[in-house]
Amino acid sequence: MPDLHRQLAAARETFGHFLRNWRKANGWVITTPQDWAKACPELIPPGLRVSSGQWANLENAQIKQAQPSTFLQLAALNQALATKQRGRISDALLKERVASGQAICRSDGSPWGPEDWFACYIGNLEGPTELWPKASDDQPPLDLAQLKQRYEALIEAHKLRPITAMVQLLSGAKDLGTEQQLEIEGGLLQDEAIRPETLPALQKLLDEWEANLKRQAKPATRSHQK
């Protein structure tokens, strides 16, 4: 039995790396599947929507026993990608990201269904070779000190007040519970401990916040050059 548990744990890790590779190959951020589903419920009904928090937990192997609904949700997303019609999307950036997405398909060209996603999750099926994790894909464990250094570097680079920075950072944490938000705030501002399972959520927030800061800085740069 211990060997089986280790095998399943390793399969979850590999599955998470595979999801991350697929997302990055599509040019997606971690919120893209959720945002697309919200924008186009006719393609991906609310009950089959993969939330950004759920996606992050799958990527980081934080879900020890995924529910059957998880594989139905992944299949619904994959099926939507297998169609030419991607829905009416008003947001230009989301539209571009959705248009670039490619479905995961079987050898006969048909998209993976729930049974394929489940088989991959437990280690009985591999995804496309170009997306399947290799030894070089292994990610080092997240470290709070490094994430805090990154947070402080962004504050300094953009000349922000600490409280302003925290408000901006947590504005993207709507999918997190109050407890996790307070945990992140305490860890960054008061050196309080953060649970390992919260670190991926903090990394995601930093990624999105940094991207927003860069977008906001671009108009100012152009204006200064004129």
Residue 216 structure tokens: 């906001």
Looking at the structure, do residues 100 and 64 belong to the same domain, yes or no? yes
Q: Report residue 138's pLDDT band, with 50, 70 and 90 as the boundaries.
A: low
Question: Is 226 within a domain?
Answer: no
Quick check: 127 and 62 in contact, CB under 8 A?
Answer: no
Q: 126: how many CB neighbours lie within 10 A of its CB? A: 13
Q: What is the pLDDT of residues 56-104, one digit of tens each?
A: 889 988 888 899 999 999 999 999 999 999 999 999 999 999 999 999 9
Tell me how many helices (H) and strands (E) the chain has.
10, 0
Looking at the structure, do residues 127 and 202 belong to the same domain, yes or no? no
Whether residue 168 is predicted with pLDDT greater than 70 in this model: the reply is yes
Looking at the structure, do residues 214 and 131 belong to the same domain, yes or no? no
Alpha carbon distance 59, 7 (integer Å): 17
Whether residue 195 is predicted with pLDDT greater than 90 in this model: the reply is no
**Sequence-ordered list of residues with C-beta below 8 angstroms from that of 58, at least 6 positions apart, any chain:** 15, 16, 19, 66, 70
Range of the domain at 157: 144-219
Question: Is 42 within a domain?
Answer: yes
Number of domains in the chain: 2
Residue 139, phi then psi, degrees to nearest 5: -100, 135
pTM equals 0.63
**Sequence-ordered list of residues with C-beta below 8 angstroms from that of 126, at least 6 positions apart, any chain:** 120, 132
Question: Is 225 within a domain?
Answer: no
Burial class for 90, CB neighbours closer than 10 Å (0-12, 13-18, 19+)? exposed
Looking at the structure, do residues 123 and 154 belong to the same domain, yes or no? no
Question: Is 116 within a domain?
Answer: yes
